[in-house]
Amino acid sequence: MPELPEVEVVRAGLEPAAVGAVITGVSVFDERALTRHVPGASDFVARLEGRSFTATSRRGKFLWLPLDDGDSALIAHLGMSGQMLLRAPDATAERHERVRIGIEHPVHGELAIVFADQRTFGSLAVDALVADGPSRVPTQVRHIARDPLDAAFDDRAFRAALSRRRSAIKRVLLDQSLISGIGNIYADESLWAARIHPETSADALSTRAVHRLLAEVRLVLTRALAEGGTSFDAQYVNVNGQAGYFARHLHAYGRAGQPCERCGGPIRREPFMNRSSFFCPRCQRVKPAAD
């Protein structure tokens, strides 16, 4: 599923092909892929054709490519099953192809950026860039917090925010307005690594436990990125259609009933926010470990 590492793999894959490329044509096959672009398909197309991409950027699970008008960007959110694929300009349609953006790159020549999405939770848009401190972000990204791999992420402010929250720590990790880029998989993996029960009240975590958790979040995300992300099925692939390899390194997520690799006890699966939490009830206690 596309969380921070997967979106970053896609961003990095688009970068060499997209930056400096001119948009030669845009085809919208399914308007549901433009739910984030309120003015509709014809406006979307008009704002892209003839423009060039000047960069690629990402915050949390949002990625965007600024345009050469200097004031707008193509933004993409992959939802659960969105894919951004680089294809030959005449490549046959993908199974769930929603949008195709033809580009001409000064070095790589003609290419197509294909947005395919089985469950249509993802979408594209052209959005205005607005100031956000020293940087500029699309308006739709303004409310998204910096992610834990961002140098400007404020650990102290995060800890202070946790101390004011009584929600379960896992729920807080999934709140993109507080810390972005973490989804169900990496929340479970980080909590397992930090030995924190997902239902622990955020305000019950010691300063030490918060630091441990942040360190594990960063380790998990960094390792997953190095492995090209987590792929369970065909839903997550990079821009060349290849799966990532981090699934083989998961310690908790998807391992219900299998032995915890730390203590040997069985990993438990529990319903959580209309999905599941995977954790080790023996080494992840509701009370944070006193260390």
Partner DNA sequence: CCCCCTGCCTGCGGGC
Partner DNA sequence: TGCCCGCAGGCAGGGG
Q: Which residues bind DNA (CB under 7 A)?
A: 1-3, 32, 60-62, 77, 79-81, 96, 118-121, 140, 143, 161, 164-167, 171, 174, 176, 180, 183-185, 233, 253, 274-276
Q: Which two tokens stand for residue 7?
A: 């979106």
* Tokens representing residue 40 in the block: 């509709």
Closest separation between CB of residue 82 and DNA, Å?
10
- Residue 15 beta carbon to DNA: minimum distance, rounded to whole angstroms: 20
Q: In the bound complex, what is the minimum distance in angstroms from residue 213's beta carbon to DNA? A: 17
- Is 2 a known active-site residue? yes
Asked about 199 being catalytic, the answer comes back as no
CB hemisphere CA count around 59 (13 angstroms): 21
Candidate list 11, 61, 100, 268, residue with the active-site label: 61
**17: closest CA among 79, 98, 103, 83?**
103
Catalytic residue (one of 3, 8, 189, 216): 3
CB atoms within 10 A of CB 56: 21
Give the residue with the Cβ less far from DNA, 38 or 263.
38
Consult the annotation and say whether 96 binds a ligand.
yes
Instruction: Give CA separation, 58 vs 91, 109, 145, in Å.
Output: 27, 25, 12
Nearer Cβ to DNA, position 143 or 208? 143
List 156, 164, 166, 275, catalytic entry: 275
Asked if residue 142 lies in contact with residue 55, where contact means CB atoms within 8 angstroms, the answer is no
275 catalytic, yes or no? yes
Q: What CA–CA distance (Å, rounded) separates 198 from 218?
A: 17
Residue 207's CB: how many other CB atoms inside 10 A? 11
Active site residue 61: yes
| Catalytic site positions | 2-3, 61, 275
